[in-house]
């Protein structure tokens, strides 16, 4: 059953605006944009087929900046182009649902961008509940004693909390049913629902309660931002990884080096685009977190990666580091070959790597050397690449 995720990020969030007046969903939490953390949770979940974000019309540049490290998912078609929302959250959700309608997913999970700590188990429980219910939401039983306010601010009574739950997101629904409910609410000018389960209840869609998580908090105020950032800010330790790769020359009229297409009298032979420097750099990044190598995550026996751009592999390694709370501080690549000449393309190579990893150019090094006509590179049978990477990871 295909399940889409719709991330609602069109609000202004005035109570938790970031420095300069920007909305909270683009604030940095532990060095990463809040929205990036939210999107990563759904992009990395195997039960989610596609992810779409609803953004404000003024926020496209902020969105692009916040999602640039998610390029691998964009290339794989999992992260869809964002859609512009409406004047209210309810209207924004309907805009997103309408945009997903052409894909006709079986179900959809609607989630607030301001809940960046949603975990895979919560997502899984909501998806599983849709197997037996037309709707399901993550929620938690109310634990606090509830008081009703009376005249003059005095307590008028204590509310029985038995059976009361605090609604969270994601809120999941059979796609056709929730789209029809939102269309009907818009047609009848019912725009005052506070969440999507309220729309569903009004439309007669049964909604199940599933266990949420106490960590799945919604960032609402500047204080929430500060507390969340503090929770994510841990002592960091430097990790260094190295990588090495070789590819032989074969028929062709160009080679890919560091994400740049360079004319040459031969091509490089490989299952993907045979970009040896990016393969070495991917392994170096994976080495910093002890997460195998490129062949483990993207095996050459898998036809999915036939001819694939190696920037996809590099972006995936960066995502794995980010999910562990890490930050890439610098990378360095050395290319060993007699030809082609690297110098004229060095700046383009550095920029290509920097764009994928979200780094400034001064944190990316690209060098080249010959082997003085010795060995297989000296005989121009192929080329080799070495790479190193330094990452800061929570202790």
Closest CA to 145 of 130, 131, 135, 155: 155
Q: Are residues 224 and 367 in the same domain?
A: no
SS (H, E, C) the chain: CCEEEEEEECCCCHHHCCCCCCCHHHCEECCEEHHHHHHHHHHCCCCCCEEEEEECCCCHHHHHHHCHHHHHHHHCCCECCCEECCCCHHHHHHHHHHHHHHHCCCEEEEEECCCCCCCHHHHHHHHHHCCCCCEEEEEEECCCCEEEECHHHCEEEEECCCCCEEEEEEEEEEHHHHHHHHHHHHHCCCCCCCCHHHHHHHCCCCEEEEECCCCCCCCCCHHHHHHHHHHHCCCEEEEEEEEEEEEEEECCCEEEECCEEEECCCEECCCCCCCHHHHHHHHHHHHHCCCCCHHHHCCCCCHHHCCCCCHHHHHHHHHHHHHCCCEEEEEEEEEECCCCCCHHHHHHHHHHHHHHHCCCHHHEEEEEECCCCCHHHHCCCEEEEEEEEEEEEEC
Boundary of a domain, candidates 180, 209, 232: 232
pLDDT in tens, 240-272: 999 999 999 999 999 999 999 999 999 999 999
Q: Domain holding 316: CATH number?
A: 3.30.1330.50
What confidence score (pLDDT) does residue 78 get?
Answer: 94
What confidence score (pLDDT) does residue 10 get?
Answer: 94
Work out the percent of the chain whose per-residue pLDDT is above 90.
83
Per-residue pLDDT of the chain (395 residues; tens, 9 = 90+): 699 999 999 987 655 455 556 788 998 888 889 999 999 999 999 999 999 999 999 999 999 999 988 877 777 789 999 999 999 999 999 999 999 999 999 999 999 999 999 999 999 999 999 999 999 999 999 999 999 999 999 999 999 999 999 999 999 999 999 999 999 999 999 989 999 999 999 999 999 999 999 999 999 888 888 888 877 777 789 999 999 999 999 999 999 999 999 999 999 999 999 999 999 999 999 999 999 999 999 999 999 999 999 999 999 999 999 888 899 999 999 999 999 999 999 999 999 999 999 899 999 999 999 999 999 999 999 999 999 999 999 87
Domain count within the chain: 2
Q: Are residues 214 and 273 in the same domain?
A: no
From the CA atom positions of the chain, what is the Rg in Å?
A: 25
Q: Are residues 205 and 301 in the same domain?
A: no
Boundary of a domain, candidates 232, 262, 279: 232
Q: Are residues 84 and 139 in the same domain?
A: yes
Q: Are residues 243 and 226 in the same domain?
A: no
Q: Domain holding 209: CATH number?
A: 3.90.550.10
Query: For residues 366 and 346, what is the distance between their CA atoms, to the nearest angstrom?
Result: 6
Boundary of a domain, candidates 207, 232, 257: 232
Q: Are residues 220 and 346 in the same domain?
A: no
**Locus of tokens 């992260």:** 79
Pairing of strands 207-211, 364-369: unpaired
pTM above 0.85, yes or no: no
What confidence score (pLDDT) does residue 146 get?
Answer: 93
What confidence score (pLDDT) does residue 74 get?
Answer: 78
Q: Are residues 93 and 242 in the same domain?
A: no
Q: Are residues 142 and 179 in the same domain?
A: yes
Q: Are residues 121 and 259 in the same domain?
A: no
Range(s) of the domain holding residue 201: 3-232
Q: Are residues 198 and 164 in the same domain?
A: yes
Q: Are residues 198 and 306 in the same domain?
A: no
Q: Are residues 90 and 211 in the same domain?
A: yes
């Amino acid at each position: 059953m295909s399940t889409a995720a719709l991330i609602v990020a069109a609000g202004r969030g005035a109570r938790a605006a970031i420095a300069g007046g920007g909305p909270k969903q683009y604030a940095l939490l532990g060095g990463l944009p809040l929205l990036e953390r939210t999107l990563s949770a759904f992009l990395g979940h195997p039960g989610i087929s596609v992810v779409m974000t609803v953004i404000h019309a003024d926020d496209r540049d902020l969105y692009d900046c916040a999602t640039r490290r998610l390029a691998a998912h964009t290339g794989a078609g999992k992260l869809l182009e964002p859609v512009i929302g409406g004047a209210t959250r309810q209207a924004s959700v309907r805009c997103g649902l309408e945009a997903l309608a052409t894909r006709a997913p079986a179900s959809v999970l609607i989630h607030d961008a301001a809940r960046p700590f949603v975990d895979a188990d919560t997502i899984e429980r909501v998806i599983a509940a849709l197997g037996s219910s037309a709707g399901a939401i993550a929620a938690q039983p109310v634990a606090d004693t509830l008081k009703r306010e009376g005249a003059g601010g005095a307590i008028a009574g204590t509310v029985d909390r038995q059976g009361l739950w605090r609604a969270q997101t994601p809120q999941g629904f059979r796609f056709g049913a929730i789209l029809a409910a939102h269309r009907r609410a818009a047609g009848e000018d019912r725009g005052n629902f506070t969440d999507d389960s309220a729309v569903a209840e009004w439309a007669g869609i049964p909604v199940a309660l599933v266990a949420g998580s106490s960590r799945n908090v919604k960032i609402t105020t500047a204080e929430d931002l500060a507390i969340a950032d503090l929770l994510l800010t841990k002592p960091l330790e430097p990790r260094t990884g190295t990588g090495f790769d070789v590819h032989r020359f074969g028929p062709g009229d160009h080679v890919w080096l560091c994400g740049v297409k360079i004319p040459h009298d031969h091509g490089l032979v490989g299952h993907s685009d045979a970009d040896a420097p990016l393969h070495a750099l991917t392994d170096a990044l994976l080495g910093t977190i002890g997460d195998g190598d490129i062949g483990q995550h993207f095996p050459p026996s898998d036809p999915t990666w036939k001819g694939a751009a190696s920037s996809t592999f590099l972006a995936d390694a960066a995502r794995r580091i980010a999910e562990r709370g890490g930050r890439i501080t610098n990378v360095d690549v050395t290319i060993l070959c007699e030809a082609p000449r690297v110098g004229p393309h060095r700046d383009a190579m550095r920029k290509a790597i920097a764009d994928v990893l979200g780094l400034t150019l001064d944190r990316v090094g690209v060098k080249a050397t010959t082997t003085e006509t010795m060995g297989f590179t000296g005989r121009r049978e192929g080329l080799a690449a070495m790479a190193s990477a330094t990452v800061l990871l929570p202790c």
